[in-house]
Amino acid sequence: HATGQADRVVFDAPRMTATSDEVIQFNAVVYDSVNNPLEGQVNWSATNGSIDENGLFYPWSSGTVQLVAEHQGLTAHHNLTVEVGVPVSIDIPQRDYDVRLAQVLQAELLDVRGNAILVNQGVLWDVNGENIGSGQPTWTPSELGEYTMRARYNQLEVMITAHVTPGQPYSFDFPPNMQIQAGTSMLLSPALVDRFGFSMPLSTVPSITWSVENGSIDAQGEYFAARTGRWSVSATYQNITGTGEIHVIP
């Protein structure tokens, strides 16, 4: 016999996967306790993307999306896997590179929604007009500065400005022939360099620990000369160190 009382909501043969550039129709059926379908308004919601009052779903981001069909407090849940759609553009996500270090070049394909997928073959690369290779080639920039980098994949192409900067801080490099009169002070400012000698701002490291053989030095690197002589000075931050010599004259 028919109860006519809503008992549950069921998704009707739902899709399990879709691409982000599709529009997918979902349907849900309200049943009573003896499996008779009932008429009734179903309210739709989605954790990502948009779904209208008729169950028409427009994906946004790739990944897992949970869809909910609700009728009078009864709910049904369905997980849909949204995959990246047809690529419409290409991008190079990395813009900054370390000088003299071999780095892998990688490109992303983007669908109409901006969902990205790394592409590892079929990409042709050139830097400043020079062919670098295809797929995910390695590039070792020889000098600091800006480079024009281009990636091509079928009919898609992108050109960016890549910035080559010094690598990781490696040591403090004091200038030679530091000289100061006894009883005066000077600010020490060694160069902070990577392992190839390329310098970067001292502010790259948050703090420096100073030590000096004679005289005193504050946290900012201000050295106060006491006795005359040649005294060693050192700067340290974690495993980055450097030593120099100060000549204190009368």
- Per-residue pLDDT reduced to its tens digit, 172-229: 999 999 999 999 999 999 999 999 999 999 999 999 999 999 999 999 999 999 999 9
Given a cut of 80, whether residue 2 has pLDDT beyond it is no
> What six digits make up the tokens of 50?
């948009």
Residue-level pLDDT at 70: 97
Q: If you ran DSSP here, which 8-state letter would residue 175 be given?
A: P
Residue 148 tokens, joined? 């024009």
pLDDT band at 3 (very low <50, low <70, confident <90, very high): low
Would you place residue 34 in the very low, low, confident or very high pLDDT band (cuts 50, 70, 90)?
very high
Q: In which band, very low, low, confident or very high, does the pLDDT at 120 lie, cut at 50, 70 and 90?
A: confident
Instruction: Determine contact, residues 103/142, Cβ cutoff 8 Å.
Output: no
Phi, psi angles (nearest 5°) of residue 84: -65, 135
On the CB side of 36, how many CA atoms lie within 13 Å of its CA? 10
Give the three-state DSSP class for 208. coil
C-alpha 235/C-alpha 221 separation (Å) is 9
